[in-house]
């Protein structure tokens, strides 16, 4: 088991390198460039060239690269040209190509700096990711509890009014556009409870300063119960909005998994033994229906941690989703790279976690 875990962790490294490669190819050959995005519409040709040099964008993107009509790279001192294909050789020349120099820095733990803001990407991740985690974990807690409860209730009371209601609810939940739901929630709550927060993580006038970046924890560290409640109030609506889709998916998945399990022989045996309904549903049925549900939860969790762009925009939530989106619009390469690595790493970590959970839930599953 431990070895399995270790091996899975090792696989993460090539996965992440692959991810950086894909991002780099896409960004290098997409039209538009970072120097232009940095200097804006009024930049002069000389200023643009100077900025390209400063950012290292005047070097070829890869040790093996295609000539490009749109982008002029400085020819490296050691290079082999085969038609449109250029092959850079010699360690110095190779190390200077954009991708290799990025990787070399990455291995030293340097994620680079944001071209737009001139700040270390790692620092921005530390500021942004806690906001995303806080929101996602809250949303997933809501989605899991409500979704699983609804799913089980529906399966147990198949074809009852409750079943129809909750499954219709789930369908509506899956189809509801978040930008609309978010706004409706905001308007509704501000009318029901005057003074209800309109987005952001704390009130505009709050003096709460981030320490860990997790505001629920920060408010407790500050020893202020009213701050804690304040943070919770700010968290509620975005978490609810973000929870609807995963909640609906989890509910539907739980229901169908339960229905399948309930027809199994061992469940009939359990009934025959005269066990209580509770024991049959929870111990015999639900535990066996849990594997697909966990898978779905893991996937949803992973994708939400990648940033919920719409929810973040509506609720002015400074998470990683809008951060990466901004970076893409501004050709902020290192932020894009750092962001995608972060998302990929989170996703793989959660996947590993889910696989380990399988074995814990179902002893028949063994890894070695």
Partner 1 sequence: MFEWWTLKRSGSRPGAARFGVWAVAWASMVLAIGACSGNGSSSVDLRRENVFVFGRGQDSVGLDPAHEDDGESFNVTGNIYDTLVRFKVESTEVEPSLAESWEISEDGKVYTFHLLKGVTFHDGTPFNADAVLFSFLRQHDPKHEFADVGGPYKYWDNMGMSQIVKAIEKVDDLTVRFRLVRSEAPFLANLAMNFASIVSPTAVVKMRKQFNFHPVGTGPFMFESWQRGQKIVLRKNPHYFGGPVKLDKVVFAAIPDNSVRFQAFKAGKLDGFNFPNPFELDAIRSSPGVRFLTQEGMNICYLALNTQKPPFDNVLVRRAINYAINKQAIIDNFYQGLGTVAKNPLPPVVWGYHKELVPYSYDPAKARELLAEAGFPDGFETTLWAMSNPRPYILAPDKVAAAVIADLEQIGVRARKVTYDWPTYLEKTDHGQHDMAFLGWSGDNGDPDNFLYMLLSKTGATIPATNIAFYRSDAFTDLLEKAKVLTDQNQRAALYRQAQEIFHRDAPWVPVAHSVQVMIVRDNVEGFHLHPTSRVDFRGVSIRRP
Instruction: Establish if 139 lies at the interface with partner 1 (CB under 8 A).
Output: no
Q: Which of 19, 23, 51, 135 binds partner 1 (CB under 8 A)?
A: 51
Report in angstroms how near the CB of residue 319 gets to partner 1 at its nearest: 8
Instruction: Establish if 157 lies at the interface with partner 1 (CB under 8 A).
Output: yes
* Binding segment toward partner 1, per CB under 8 A, in 11-19, 21-29, 293-301, 309-317: 309-317
Q: Which of 124, 140, 296, 347 binds partner 1 (CB under 8 A)?
A: 124
The residues, any chain, with a CB within 8 Å of residue 48's CB and separated by 6 or more, are: 35, 36, 39
* Binding segment toward partner 1, per CB under 8 A, in 87-95, 101-109, 116-124, 339-347: 116-124
Report in angstroms how near the CB of residue 82 gets to partner 1 at its nearest: 28
Report in angstroms how near the CB of residue 361 gets to partner 1 at its nearest: 10
> 341-351 burial string, b = 16+ CB within 10 Å, else e?
bbbbebbbebb
Instruction: Establish if 205 lies at the interface with partner 1 (CB under 8 A).
Output: yes
Q: Closer to partner 1 by CB, 84 or 195: give it.
A: 195
Instruction: Establish if 291 lies at the interface with partner 1 (CB under 8 A).
Output: no
Q: Closer to partner 1 by CB, 72 or 80: give it.
A: 72
Of 163, 155, 166, 174, nearest to 255 by C-alpha is 155
Stretch 245-284 residues interacting with partner 1 (CB under 8 A): 276-279, 281-283
Report in angstroms how near the CB of residue 247 gets to partner 1 at its nearest: 11
What is the rounded distance in angstroms from the CA atom of residue 304 to the CA atom of residue 39?
A: 33
* Binding segment toward partner 1, per CB under 8 A, in 4-12, 87-95, 185-193, 261-269: 185-193
Instruction: Establish if 313 lies at the interface with partner 1 (CB under 8 A).
Output: yes
The HSE-up count of residue 173 (CA atoms within 13 Å, CB side) is: 23
What is the rounded distance in angstroms from the CA atom of residue 262 to the CA atom of residue 266?
A: 9
Q: How many chain residues are in contact with partner 1, going by CB under 8 A?
A: 83
Instruction: Establish if 323 lies at the interface with partner 1 (CB under 8 A).
Output: yes
Instruction: Establish if 192 lies at the interface with partner 1 (CB under 8 A).
Output: yes
Report in angstroms how near the CB of residue 271 gets to partner 1 at its nearest: 14
Instruction: Establish if 224 lies at the interface with partner 1 (CB under 8 A).
Output: no
Of 299, 209, 210, nearest to 250 by C-alpha is 299
Q: Which helix (H) or strand (E) holds 218?
A: helix 215-221
Q: Please, are residues 317 and 200 in contact by the beta-carbon 8 Å criterion? A: yes
Dihedral sign, CA of 25, 29, 31, 35? positive
Stretch 59-88 residues interacting with partner 1 (CB under 8 A): none
Q: Which helix (H) or strand (E) holds 88?
A: strand 85-88
Q: Which of 186, 242, 262, 304 binds partner 1 (CB under 8 A)?
A: 186
Locate 273 and state its tokens: 């033994």
Q: Is residue 183 classed exposed, middle or buried when 0-12, 13-18 and 19+ CB atoms within 10 A define those classes?
A: middle
* Binding segment toward partner 1, per CB under 8 A, in 85-93, 100-108, 224-232, 265-273: 224-232
Q: Phi first, then psi: what are they for 31, rounded to 5°?
A: -65, 160
Report in angstroms how near the CB of residue 304 gets to partner 1 at its nearest: 18
What is the rounded distance in angstroms from the CA atom of residue 56 to the CA atom of residue 76?
A: 13
Q: Which of 101, 190, 256, 349 binds partner 1 (CB under 8 A)?
A: 190
Q: Please, are residues 155 and 262 in contact by the beta-carbon 8 Å criterion? A: yes
Instruction: Report DSSP state, residue 308.
Output: -
* Binding segment toward partner 1, per CB under 8 A, in 72-80, 182-190, 258-266, 345-353: 182-190
Stretch 328-367 residues interacting with partner 1 (CB under 8 A): 329-331
Instruction: Establish if 54 lies at the interface with partner 1 (CB under 8 A).
Output: yes
3-state secondary structure of 356: helix
Q: Please, are residues 240 and 138 in contact by the beta-carbon 8 Å criterion? A: no
* Binding segment toward partner 1, per CB under 8 A, in 80-88, 145-153, 265-273, 296-304: 145-153
The HSE-up count of residue 318 (CA atoms within 13 Å, CB side) is: 13
What is the rounded distance in angstroms from the CA atom of residue 342 to the CA atom of residue 130?
A: 12
Instruction: Establish if 226 lies at the interface with partner 1 (CB under 8 A).
Output: yes
């Amino acid at each position: 088991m431990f070895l399995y875990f270790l091996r899975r962790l090792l696989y993460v490294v090539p996965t992440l390198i692959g991810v950086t490669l894909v991002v780099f190819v896409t960004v290098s050959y997409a039209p538009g460039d970072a120097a232009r995005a940095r200097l804006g519409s009024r930049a002069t040709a000389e200023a643009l060239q100077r900025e390209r040099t400063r950012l290292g964008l005047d070097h070829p993107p890869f040790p093996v690269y295609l000539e490009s009509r749109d982008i002029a790279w400085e020819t490296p001192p050691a290079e082999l040209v085969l038609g449109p294909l250029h092959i850079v050789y010699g360690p110095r020349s190779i190390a200077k190509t954009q991708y290799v120099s990025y990787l070399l820095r990455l291995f030293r733990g340097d994620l680079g700096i944001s071209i737009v803001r001139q700040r270390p990407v790692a620092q921005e991740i530390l500021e942004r990711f806690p906001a995303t985690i806080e929101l996602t974990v809250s949303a997933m807690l809501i989605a899991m509890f409500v979704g699983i409860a609804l799913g089980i209730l529906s399966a147990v009371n198949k074809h009852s009014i409750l079943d129809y209601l909750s499954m219709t609810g789930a369908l509506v939940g899956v189809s509801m556009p978040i930008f609309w739901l978010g706004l409706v929630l905001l308007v509704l709550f501000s009318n029901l409870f005057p003074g209800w927060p309109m987005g952001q993580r704390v009130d505009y006038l709050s003096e709460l300063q981030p320490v860990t970046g997790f505001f629920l924890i920060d408010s407790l560290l500050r020893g202020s119960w009213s701050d804690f409640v304040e943070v919770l109030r700010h968290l509620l609506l975005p978490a609810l909005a973000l929870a609807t889709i995963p909640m609906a998916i989890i509910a539907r998945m739980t229901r169908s998994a339960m229905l399948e399990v309930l027809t199994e022989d061992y469940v009939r045996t359990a009934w025959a033994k005269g066990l209580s309904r509770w024991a049959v549903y929870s111990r015999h049925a639900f535990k066996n229906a849990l594997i697909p549900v966990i898978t779905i939860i893991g996937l949803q969790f992973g994708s939400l941690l990648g940033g919920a762009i719409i929810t973040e925009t509506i609720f002015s939530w400074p998470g990683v989703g809008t951060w990466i989106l901004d970076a893409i619009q501004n050709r902020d390469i290192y932020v894009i790279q750092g962001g995608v690595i972060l998302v990929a790493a989170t996703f793989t970590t959660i996947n590993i976690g889910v696989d380990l959970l399988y074995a814990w839930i179902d002893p028949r599953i063994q890894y070695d």
